[in-house]
Amino acid sequence: MDVLMIIKDTNALREGTALRASILEQSKLVNRLFVIVENPRKDHYEIQRISESVWFIPTNSRLWWLAPYDAVRIAKRELFFQGHLQTDLIVAQDPCEAGFAGAILSKRYKKPLHLRIGENIFSPYFRSASPYNAIRALVARSVVRASARIQAASENIKASLAEIGDDVTDRTAVLPPFVDAEFFLKEPVRVDLRAKYPQFKFIILMAGPLTLARNYILAVRVLAGVLKEYAHAGLVIVGEGKMRRRIRAVAKAFGIQDRVVIEGPSDNLVSYYKTASVFLVTAPYDDWHNSIAEASACGAPIVTTRVGIAPSIIVDGESGFLCDPEKPESFALSIMKLVNDPAIRARVTINTSLYLQKSVEGGKEGYLRLIKEDWEKASEKA
Protein backbone atom coordinates (compact mmCIF):
# COMPACT_ATOMS: atom_id res chain seq x y z
CA MET A 1 0.00 0.00 0.00
CA ASP A 2 1.20 3.51 -0.88
CA VAL A 3 -0.05 6.29 1.42
CA LEU A 4 -0.21 10.07 1.14
CA MET A 5 -0.33 11.65 4.59
CA ILE A 6 -1.27 15.30 5.10
CA ILE A 7 -0.49 17.02 8.39
CA LYS A 8 -0.21 20.60 9.62
CA ASP A 9 2.05 20.08 12.64
CA THR A 10 5.53 21.28 11.66
CA ASN A 11 7.09 19.00 14.28
CA ALA A 12 6.84 16.37 11.55
CA LEU A 13 9.65 18.23 9.75
CA ARG A 14 11.92 18.45 12.79
CA GLU A 15 14.38 15.72 13.61
CA GLY A 16 14.20 14.31 17.11
CA THR A 17 10.53 15.10 17.77
CA ALA A 18 8.07 12.48 19.03
CA LEU A 19 5.72 13.19 16.12
CA ARG A 20 8.39 12.59 13.50
CA ALA A 21 9.42 9.37 15.24
CA SER A 22 5.79 8.23 15.23
CA ILE A 23 5.38 8.95 11.51
CA LEU A 24 8.56 7.06 10.69
CA GLU A 25 7.20 4.08 12.64
CA GLN A 26 3.99 4.27 10.63
CA SER A 27 5.99 4.33 7.40
CA LYS A 28 6.97 0.72 8.14
CA LEU A 29 3.33 -0.28 7.67
CA VAL A 30 3.30 0.61 3.96
CA ASN A 31 5.39 0.36 0.82
CA ARG A 32 5.75 4.12 0.38
CA LEU A 33 4.75 7.07 2.53
CA PHE A 34 4.58 10.64 1.24
CA VAL A 35 4.03 13.25 3.97
CA ILE A 36 2.86 16.72 2.97
CA VAL A 37 3.24 19.17 5.86
CA GLU A 38 1.17 22.36 5.79
CA ASN A 39 3.71 24.79 7.24
CA PRO A 40 3.98 28.61 7.00
CA ARG A 41 6.57 30.19 4.75
CA LYS A 42 8.19 31.97 7.70
CA ASP A 43 9.04 28.48 9.04
CA HIS A 44 10.64 27.44 5.76
CA TYR A 45 11.81 23.87 5.07
CA GLU A 46 13.23 22.00 2.10
CA ILE A 47 11.89 18.70 0.80
CA GLN A 48 13.28 15.87 2.93
CA ARG A 49 13.94 12.51 1.31
CA ILE A 50 14.40 10.10 4.20
CA SER A 51 14.71 7.00 2.04
CA GLU A 52 13.47 5.59 -1.27
CA SER A 53 10.09 5.05 0.37
CA VAL A 54 9.65 8.01 2.75
CA TRP A 55 9.37 11.69 1.78
CA PHE A 56 8.48 14.80 3.78
CA ILE A 57 7.27 17.68 1.59
CA PRO A 58 6.56 21.12 3.16
CA THR A 59 4.05 23.51 1.62
CA ASN A 60 5.86 26.67 2.85
CA SER A 61 2.54 28.47 2.48
CA ARG A 62 2.37 32.26 2.33
CA LEU A 63 -0.97 32.37 4.19
CA TRP A 64 -2.55 29.78 6.51
CA TRP A 65 -5.72 29.47 4.44
CA LEU A 66 -3.69 28.75 1.29
CA ALA A 67 -2.00 25.71 2.88
CA PRO A 68 -4.69 23.17 1.86
CA TYR A 69 -4.59 24.37 -1.75
CA ASP A 70 -0.79 24.25 -1.69
CA ALA A 71 -1.01 20.66 -0.44
CA VAL A 72 -3.33 19.75 -3.32
CA ARG A 73 -0.99 21.42 -5.81
CA ILE A 74 2.04 19.59 -4.42
CA ALA A 75 0.25 16.23 -4.49
CA LYS A 76 -0.61 16.74 -8.15
CA ARG A 77 2.95 17.82 -8.97
CA GLU A 78 4.71 15.02 -7.10
CA LEU A 79 2.31 12.07 -7.22
CA PHE A 80 0.12 12.40 -10.31
CA PHE A 81 1.28 10.70 -13.48
CA GLN A 82 0.05 8.14 -16.00
CA GLY A 83 -3.42 9.57 -15.42
CA HIS A 84 -3.59 8.55 -11.75
CA LEU A 85 -2.66 9.76 -8.29
CA GLN A 86 0.04 7.24 -7.35
CA THR A 87 -1.23 6.43 -3.89
CA ASP A 88 -3.78 3.95 -2.55
CA LEU A 89 -4.94 5.93 0.46
CA ILE A 90 -5.02 9.53 1.67
CA VAL A 91 -4.53 10.00 5.42
CA ALA A 92 -5.37 13.38 6.97
CA GLN A 93 -4.12 13.95 10.50
CA ASP A 94 -6.70 16.60 11.37
CA PRO A 95 -10.22 17.33 10.05
CA CYS A 96 -9.62 20.99 9.23
CA GLU A 97 -6.74 22.25 7.07
CA ALA A 98 -5.22 18.82 6.40
CA GLY A 99 -8.64 17.20 6.13
CA PHE A 100 -9.86 19.82 3.66
CA ALA A 101 -6.91 19.12 1.37
CA GLY A 102 -7.47 15.38 1.78
CA ALA A 103 -11.16 15.70 0.91
CA ILE A 104 -10.38 17.66 -2.26
CA LEU A 105 -7.83 15.06 -3.38
CA SER A 106 -10.14 12.19 -2.43
CA LYS A 107 -13.00 13.57 -4.53
CA ARG A 108 -10.82 14.64 -7.46
CA TYR A 109 -8.83 11.42 -7.80
CA LYS A 110 -11.30 8.87 -6.37
CA LYS A 111 -9.05 7.80 -3.50
CA PRO A 112 -10.38 6.85 -0.05
CA LEU A 113 -9.76 9.30 2.78
CA HIS A 114 -8.78 8.17 6.28
CA LEU A 115 -9.26 10.87 8.90
CA ARG A 116 -7.64 11.25 12.31
CA ILE A 117 -9.33 13.55 14.84
CA GLY A 118 -7.22 14.32 17.89
CA GLU A 119 -9.09 17.38 19.20
CA ASN A 120 -12.82 17.78 19.78
CA ILE A 121 -13.36 20.68 17.42
CA PHE A 122 -17.10 20.05 17.56
CA SER A 123 -17.37 21.11 21.20
CA PRO A 124 -19.04 24.48 21.90
CA TYR A 125 -15.88 25.63 23.71
CA PHE A 126 -13.81 25.17 20.56
CA ARG A 127 -16.32 26.86 18.25
CA SER A 128 -16.83 29.85 20.51
CA ALA A 129 -13.10 30.51 20.96
CA SER A 130 -12.87 32.49 17.69
CA PRO A 131 -14.66 33.07 14.36
CA TYR A 132 -11.77 31.18 12.77
CA ASN A 133 -12.57 28.10 14.87
CA ALA A 134 -16.25 28.30 13.96
CA ILE A 135 -15.29 28.17 10.26
CA ARG A 136 -12.89 25.29 10.89
CA ALA A 137 -15.66 23.32 12.63
CA LEU A 138 -17.95 23.80 9.63
CA VAL A 139 -15.22 22.65 7.26
CA ALA A 140 -14.56 19.64 9.47
CA ARG A 141 -18.19 18.49 9.26
CA SER A 142 -17.90 18.29 5.46
CA VAL A 143 -14.56 16.48 5.70
CA VAL A 144 -16.03 13.96 8.15
CA ARG A 145 -18.83 13.14 5.70
CA ALA A 146 -16.26 12.62 2.92
CA SER A 147 -14.12 10.19 4.94
CA ALA A 148 -14.08 6.45 4.41
CA ARG A 149 -12.84 5.77 7.94
CA ILE A 150 -12.30 7.93 11.02
CA GLN A 151 -10.05 7.45 14.04
CA ALA A 152 -11.10 9.51 17.07
CA ALA A 153 -8.69 10.09 19.93
CA SER A 154 -11.40 9.85 22.61
CA GLU A 155 -14.94 8.72 23.33
CA ASN A 156 -15.89 12.39 23.74
CA ILE A 157 -14.97 13.05 20.12
CA LYS A 158 -16.92 10.01 18.90
CA ALA A 159 -19.96 11.18 20.87
CA SER A 160 -19.74 14.56 19.13
CA LEU A 161 -19.47 12.84 15.73
CA ALA A 162 -22.75 11.06 16.46
CA GLU A 163 -24.47 14.43 16.11
CA ILE A 164 -23.40 14.54 12.46
CA GLY A 165 -24.97 11.18 11.66
CA ASP A 166 -25.21 7.52 12.65
CA ASP A 167 -23.35 6.53 9.50
CA VAL A 168 -20.39 8.60 10.73
CA THR A 169 -20.15 6.78 14.06
CA ASP A 170 -20.47 3.45 12.26
CA ARG A 171 -17.18 4.11 10.48
CA THR A 172 -15.44 5.63 13.50
CA ALA A 173 -13.00 3.80 15.76
CA VAL A 174 -11.66 5.20 19.04
CA LEU A 175 -7.88 5.02 19.27
CA PRO A 176 -6.28 7.18 21.98
CA PRO A 177 -2.89 8.63 21.03
CA PHE A 178 0.01 6.31 21.70
CA VAL A 179 3.08 7.77 23.32
CA ASP A 180 6.33 5.86 23.26
CA ALA A 181 7.31 6.08 26.93
CA GLU A 182 10.83 4.90 26.17
CA PHE A 183 11.34 7.81 23.77
CA PHE A 184 10.44 10.34 26.46
CA LEU A 185 12.38 8.60 29.22
CA LYS A 186 15.54 8.85 27.13
CA GLU A 187 15.14 12.58 26.53
CA PRO A 188 17.51 14.57 28.79
CA VAL A 189 16.37 17.44 30.99
CA ARG A 190 17.57 20.65 29.37
CA VAL A 191 15.52 23.11 31.43
CA ASP A 192 14.80 22.50 35.12
CA LEU A 193 11.69 24.37 36.25
CA ARG A 194 12.80 24.08 39.86
CA ALA A 195 16.02 25.94 39.07
CA LYS A 196 14.25 28.39 36.78
CA TYR A 197 11.64 29.31 39.40
CA PRO A 198 13.32 28.78 42.79
CA GLN A 199 10.58 30.85 44.49
CA PHE A 200 8.20 27.91 43.92
CA LYS A 201 8.74 24.79 46.01
CA PHE A 202 5.82 23.05 44.31
CA ILE A 203 5.28 23.77 40.60
CA ILE A 204 1.91 23.25 38.92
CA LEU A 205 2.44 23.03 35.16
CA MET A 206 -0.08 23.62 32.37
CA ALA A 207 0.51 23.67 28.61
CA GLY A 208 -1.56 24.63 25.60
CA PRO A 209 -3.01 27.63 23.76
CA LEU A 210 -4.37 30.40 25.97
CA THR A 211 -8.00 29.96 24.93
CA LEU A 212 -11.34 29.74 26.69
CA ALA A 213 -11.50 26.00 25.97
CA ARG A 214 -8.47 25.30 28.17
CA ASN A 215 -10.29 26.74 31.23
CA TYR A 216 -7.27 28.51 32.74
CA ILE A 217 -9.50 30.68 34.93
CA LEU A 218 -10.44 27.56 36.85
CA ALA A 219 -6.72 26.78 37.21
CA VAL A 220 -6.12 30.17 38.84
CA ARG A 221 -8.95 29.47 41.26
CA VAL A 222 -7.42 26.07 42.00
CA LEU A 223 -4.05 27.70 42.72
CA ALA A 224 -5.73 30.17 45.06
CA GLY A 225 -7.21 27.21 46.95
CA VAL A 226 -3.85 25.47 47.18
CA LEU A 227 -2.11 28.62 48.42
CA LYS A 228 -4.49 28.81 51.37
CA GLU A 229 -2.98 25.55 52.61
CA TYR A 230 0.53 25.75 51.14
CA ALA A 231 2.10 29.16 50.51
CA HIS A 232 5.04 28.01 48.36
CA ALA A 233 3.18 26.75 45.27
CA GLY A 234 3.27 28.36 41.85
CA LEU A 235 1.53 27.94 38.50
CA VAL A 236 3.54 27.90 35.26
CA ILE A 237 1.52 28.08 32.03
CA VAL A 238 3.24 27.42 28.68
CA GLY A 239 1.38 28.81 25.68
CA GLU A 240 0.13 31.89 23.89
CA GLY A 241 -3.25 33.35 23.04
CA LYS A 242 -5.83 36.01 23.75
CA MET A 243 -6.55 34.81 27.31
CA ARG A 244 -3.19 36.04 28.63
CA ARG A 245 -4.53 39.35 29.95
CA ARG A 246 -7.63 37.72 31.40
CA ILE A 247 -5.56 35.11 33.27
CA ARG A 248 -3.32 37.83 34.71
CA ALA A 249 -6.33 39.94 35.68
CA VAL A 250 -7.99 37.06 37.53
CA ALA A 251 -4.73 36.20 39.30
CA LYS A 252 -4.42 39.83 40.37
CA ALA A 253 -8.00 39.81 41.65
CA PHE A 254 -7.09 36.86 43.88
CA GLY A 255 -3.90 38.63 44.96
CA ILE A 256 -1.69 35.83 43.61
CA GLN A 257 -0.27 37.49 40.48
CA ASP A 258 3.29 36.79 41.67
CA ARG A 259 2.43 33.08 41.82
CA VAL A 260 1.36 32.77 38.18
CA VAL A 261 3.93 32.69 35.36
CA ILE A 262 2.93 32.62 31.69
CA GLU A 263 5.67 31.58 29.27
CA GLY A 264 5.50 31.49 25.49
CA PRO A 265 5.27 28.18 23.60
CA SER A 266 8.22 25.86 24.11
CA ASP A 267 9.82 23.09 22.05
CA ASN A 268 11.17 21.62 25.27
CA LEU A 269 8.02 20.49 27.09
CA VAL A 270 9.63 17.16 27.95
CA SER A 271 11.97 18.94 30.36
CA TYR A 272 9.01 20.82 31.83
CA TYR A 273 7.01 17.64 32.34
CA LYS A 274 9.97 15.95 34.03
CA THR A 275 10.72 18.78 36.45
CA ALA A 276 7.19 19.94 37.36
CA SER A 277 5.61 18.81 40.61
CA VAL A 278 2.27 18.12 38.91
CA PHE A 279 0.72 18.52 35.46
CA LEU A 280 -2.73 20.08 35.62
CA VAL A 281 -5.53 19.92 33.02
CA THR A 282 -8.77 21.82 33.70
CA ALA A 283 -10.27 21.67 30.19
CA PRO A 284 -13.86 20.35 30.32
CA TYR A 285 -14.00 18.87 26.81
CA ASP A 286 -10.65 17.82 25.43
CA ASP A 287 -6.94 17.32 25.97
CA TRP A 288 -4.48 19.48 24.04
CA HIS A 289 -2.50 17.42 21.54
CA ASN A 290 -1.15 14.45 23.55
CA SER A 291 -0.20 16.42 26.64
CA ILE A 292 -1.68 14.05 29.25
CA ALA A 293 -0.03 11.01 27.69
CA GLU A 294 3.29 12.79 27.17
CA ALA A 295 3.36 14.12 30.73
CA SER A 296 2.54 10.62 31.96
CA ALA A 297 5.38 9.16 29.91
CA CYS A 298 7.71 11.63 31.61
CA GLY A 299 6.54 10.52 35.04
CA ALA A 300 4.70 13.72 35.96
CA PRO A 301 1.81 13.25 38.42
CA ILE A 302 -1.44 14.19 36.65
CA VAL A 303 -4.45 16.03 38.02
CA THR A 304 -7.03 16.32 35.25
CA THR A 305 -10.60 16.28 34.07
CA ARG A 306 -11.95 13.20 32.28
CA VAL A 307 -10.69 14.26 28.86
CA GLY A 308 -8.68 12.56 26.14
CA ILE A 309 -6.77 9.51 27.25
CA ALA A 310 -7.13 10.33 30.97
CA PRO A 311 -9.94 7.84 31.81
CA SER A 312 -7.95 5.07 30.10
CA ILE A 313 -4.72 5.49 32.06
CA ILE A 314 -5.70 7.13 35.34
CA VAL A 315 -7.15 5.25 38.28
CA ASP A 316 -8.09 7.99 40.73
CA GLY A 317 -5.58 8.15 43.56
CA GLU A 318 -3.39 5.42 42.07
CA SER A 319 -1.96 6.75 38.80
CA GLY A 320 -3.24 10.32 39.04
CA PHE A 321 -6.39 12.19 39.96
CA LEU A 322 -9.60 12.65 37.98
CA CYS A 323 -11.54 15.78 38.91
CA ASP A 324 -14.83 17.49 38.08
CA PRO A 325 -14.55 20.95 36.43
CA GLU A 326 -17.81 21.85 38.17
CA LYS A 327 -16.11 21.28 41.53
CA PRO A 328 -12.93 23.43 41.72
CA GLU A 329 -12.25 22.21 45.25
CA SER A 330 -11.64 18.68 43.92
CA PHE A 331 -8.55 19.89 42.04
CA ALA A 332 -7.11 21.71 45.02
CA LEU A 333 -7.76 18.73 47.33
CA SER A 334 -6.02 16.36 44.88
CA ILE A 335 -3.00 18.64 44.56
CA MET A 336 -2.75 19.00 48.32
CA LYS A 337 -2.60 15.21 48.65
CA LEU A 338 0.51 15.30 46.49
CA VAL A 339 1.93 18.18 48.54
CA ASN A 340 1.27 16.66 51.95
CA ASP A 341 1.78 12.93 51.50
CA PRO A 342 5.14 11.72 50.09
CA ALA A 343 3.80 8.14 49.90
CA ILE A 344 0.92 9.18 47.64
CA ARG A 345 3.25 11.31 45.53
CA ALA A 346 5.71 8.42 45.11
CA ARG A 347 2.95 5.93 44.23
CA VAL A 348 1.35 8.20 41.66
CA THR A 349 4.72 9.09 40.11
CA ILE A 350 5.59 5.41 39.66
CA ASN A 351 2.16 4.34 38.41
CA THR A 352 1.67 7.22 35.99
CA SER A 353 3.98 5.90 33.28
CA LEU A 354 3.26 2.24 34.08
CA TYR A 355 -0.48 2.64 33.46
CA LEU A 356 0.27 4.48 30.22
CA GLN A 357 2.42 1.62 28.96
CA LYS A 358 -0.39 -0.85 29.71
CA SER A 359 -3.04 1.24 27.96
CA VAL A 360 -2.53 -0.40 24.55
CA GLU A 361 -2.32 -4.16 24.38
CA GLY A 362 0.85 -5.18 22.61
CA GLY A 363 2.57 -1.81 23.15
CA LYS A 364 3.92 0.03 20.13
CA GLU A 365 3.54 -2.97 17.83
CA GLY A 366 -0.06 -3.46 18.89
CA TYR A 367 -0.83 0.20 18.34
CA LEU A 368 0.70 0.18 14.87
CA ARG A 369 -1.27 -2.96 14.04
CA LEU A 370 -4.52 -1.16 14.91
CA ILE A 371 -3.55 1.75 12.65
CA LYS A 372 -2.77 -0.58 9.76
CA GLU A 373 -6.03 -2.47 10.17
CA ASP A 374 -7.99 0.77 10.02
CA TRP A 375 -6.06 1.96 6.97
CA GLU A 376 -6.84 -1.34 5.26
CA LYS A 377 -10.56 -0.96 6.05
CA ALA A 378 -10.50 2.51 4.49
CA SER A 379 -8.69 1.20 1.41
CA GLU A 380 -11.35 -1.46 0.89
CA LYS A 381 -13.83 1.33 0.18
CA ALA A 382 -11.93 2.50 -2.87
- In this predicted model, what pLDDT tens digit does every residue of 34-93 receive, in sequence order? 999 999 999 999 999 999 999 999 999 999 999 999 999 999 999 999 889 999 999 999
pLDDT tens digits along 201-258: 999 999 999 988 899 999 999 999 999 999 999 999 999 998 999 999 999 999 999 9
Domains of the chain and any CATH numbers: 2-178+361-379 (3.40.50.2000), 183-357 (3.40.50.2000)
pLDDT at 360: 58
Q: What is the 3-state secondary structure (H, E, C) of the chain?
A: CEEEEEECCHHHHCCCCHHHHHHHHHHCCCCEEEEEECCEHHHCCCCEECCCCEEEEECCECCHHHHHHHHHHHHHHHHEECCEECCCEEEECCCCHHHHHHHHHHHHHCCCEEEEECCCCCCHHHHHCCHHHHHHHHHHHHHHHHCCEEEECCHHHHHHHCCCCHHHHHCEEECCCCCCHHHHHHCCCCCCHHHHCCCCCEEEEEECCCCHHHCHHHHHHHHHHHHHHCCCEEEEEECCCCCHHHHHHHHHHCCCHHHEEEECCCCCHHHHHHHCCEEEECCCCCCCCCHHHHHHHCCCCEEECCCCCHHHHCCECCCEEECCCCCHHHHHHHHHHHHHCHHHHHHHHHHHHHHHHCCCCCHHHHHHHHHHHHHHHHHCCC
Tens digit of each residue's pLDDT (9 = 90 or more) over 313-371: 899 999 999 999 889 899 999 999 999 999 999 999 889 888 887 765 667 888 899 99
